[in-house]
């Protein structure tokens, strides 16, 4: 510790130094990455990636904003719900995503705290020695924090950037979940209709069998067989109806809908698949360049690397303080004092801090490498699944369904010529409905695989930054409390 009594000309200089140190720590939200709206970079990235208009993703900060969201949602629900409309609803109405956007404000506040100096400490004392009265006034600053301020700002900025990319990955993952849930809901409705056709055909066959049995033209075995077809068809229809209900509720949760909002209409059928798949080029290279979970892992690794360097020098400057004092006495001249204190690292120079920072950096290094390895594998798997499912769906629509229709047309001709009976015609109708249902499932799987490929190219929700994705829990809870 150094203590020096200085001439009276110093108070003005000390005041200037104090003001300069204070202003150096006056960072504001305008200086933060992304400005005052921490979710701004996330919204820009999501809207650009999904080709959506401005304000397609935004944080509702008050009741007025929530009312505007409700009006927009009601407008989109006023007509049959398309995949794009469902996506736009989810981005503004999913409370889990809103919570993730709000959480960025917490990270931004951490940056602001790191970017500012600790408040100076003011001390005031009065000493009485006989008739002498002495008044002491002091102002102290933590110079160590001031010296490390640029480093700390950079580290927290990288962490905030990693968090923003993590939330971007979450938002894009939600978009994929919404598209898949919409496909599953529409396909489930189509499958329910197909199951209803099979049920109606089986019911007609069972009724005909009862009549033939009543007049003695059919055996009990033949009647029981038709009754069995009817019972199985009714069971399959009940399962299809429940599957359609479950698929619709999953979509409701992802859209954050409740009450009368859940009465929206869905399209009658899935859109047709493209005639050919586009040539996407080197998908692995694209994934490594644009996946947001990889970007978040890189920024997190850079932040921990900077933290490691900070920890290695922090022990030598930690505790460095500057004290300014002005003492007055009724029996002597005023005194201006500068006091500089430094913590001596005799029993610990920050070795524990350095060891911890090194371990965290090593963990981040391996995690970043694992994210990259998984990304390459995921995009290869998703591309293979998308291509094979497209080929299977095309085979159903171009080969199997036309053949089933041809067989049905030929059976109608044979029935008109009285070569087969009505029960044979009904059995063929059941077979054709099963073929159509298989084609619907193949078409559904192709669209789901395409959505998985899109997600593999932009990144899955990052589990390393911010303690994991909040979307899964919010999705399971339905759209939040109302």
pLDDT at 142: 74
pLDDT at 6: 43
Task: Give CA–CA dist 360/363, Å, rounded.
Answer: 5
pLDDT at 474: 40
pLDDT at 355: 76
Which positions ≥6 away from 420 have C-beta within 8 Å?
Answer: 411, 414
pLDDT at 428: 80
pLDDT at 287: 83
Task: Give CA–CA dist 236/205, Å, rounded.
Answer: 16
| Full set of structural domains in the chain with CATH | 30-117+157-317+351-464 (1.20.1600.10)
Tokens found for residue 243: 């599957």
**Average pLDDT per consecutive 10 residues, the chain (482 residues; last block may be shorter):** 44 48 51 67 89 90 93 94 95 94 87 76 79 79 71 78 86 93 96 91 87 86 88 94 96 94 93 85 83 79 70 57 71 76 62 74 82 87 92 92 87 81 78 88 94 84 41 43 40
C-alpha torsion 33→37→39→44, nearest 10: -80
Report which of 174, 95, 67 is spatially closest to residue 477, judged by C-alpha positions. 95
């Amino acid at each position: 510790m150094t203590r020096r009594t200085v001439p009276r000309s110093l108070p003005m200089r000390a005041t200037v130094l104090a003001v300069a140190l204070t202003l150096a720590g006056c960072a504001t939200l305008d200086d933060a990455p992304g400005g005052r709206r921490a979710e701004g970079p996330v919204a820009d990235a999501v809207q650009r990636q999904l080709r959506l208009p401005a304000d397609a993703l935004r944080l509702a900060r008050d009741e007025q904003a929530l009312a505007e969201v409700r009006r927009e949602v009601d407008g989109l629900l006023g007509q049959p719900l398309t995949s794009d409309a469902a996506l736009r609803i989810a981005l503004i109405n999913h409370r889990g995503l809103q919570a993730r956007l709000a959480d960025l404000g917490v990270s931004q506040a951490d940056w602001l705290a790191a970017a500012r100096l600790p408040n100076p400490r003011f001390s005031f004392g009065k000493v009485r020695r006989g008739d002498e009265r002495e008044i002491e006034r002091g102002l102290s600053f933590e110079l160590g924090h001031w010296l490390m301020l640029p480093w700390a700002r950079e580290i927290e900025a990288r962490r905030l950037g990693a968090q923003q990319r993590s939330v971007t990955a979450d938002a894009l993952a939600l978009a994929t979940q919404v598209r898949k849930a919409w496909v599953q809901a529409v396909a489930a409705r189509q499958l329910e209709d197909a199951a209803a056709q099979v049920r109606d055909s089986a019911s007609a066959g069972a009724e005909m069998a009862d009549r033939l049995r009543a007049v003695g033209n059919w055996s009990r075995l033949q009647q029981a067989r038709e009754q069995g077809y009817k019972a199985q068809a009714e069971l399959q229809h009940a399962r299809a109806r429940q599957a359609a209900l479950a698929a619709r509720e999953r979509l409701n949760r992802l859209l954050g809908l409740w009450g009368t909002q859940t009465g929206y209409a869905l399209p009658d059928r899935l859109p047709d698949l493209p005639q050919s798949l586009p040539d996407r080029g080197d998908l692995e290279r694209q994934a490594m360049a644009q996946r947001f979970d990889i970007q978040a892992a890189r920024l997190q690794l850079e932040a921990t690397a900077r933290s490691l360097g900070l920890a290695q020098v922090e022990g030598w400057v930690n505790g460095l303080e500057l004290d300014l004092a002005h003492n007055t006495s009724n029996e002597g001249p005023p005194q201006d004092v500068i006091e500089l204190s430094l913590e001596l690292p005799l029993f610990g120079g920050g070795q524990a801090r350095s060891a911890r920072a090194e371990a965290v950096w090593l963990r981040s290094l391996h995690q970043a490498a694992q994210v990259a390895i998984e990304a390459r594998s995921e995009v290869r798997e998703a591309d293979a699944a998308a291509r094979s499912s497209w080929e299977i769906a095309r085979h159903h629509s171009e080969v199997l369904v036309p053949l089933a229709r041809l067989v049905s047309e030929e059976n109608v001709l044979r029935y008109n010529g009285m070569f087969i009976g009505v029960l044979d015609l009904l059995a063929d109708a059941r077979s054709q409905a099963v073929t159509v249902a298989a084609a619907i499932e193949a078409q559904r799987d192709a669209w789901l695989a395409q959505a998985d490929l899109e997600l593999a190219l932009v990144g899955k929700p990052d589990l390393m930054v911010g303690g994991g994705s909040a979307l899964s829990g919010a999705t399971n809870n339905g759209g939040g409390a109302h």
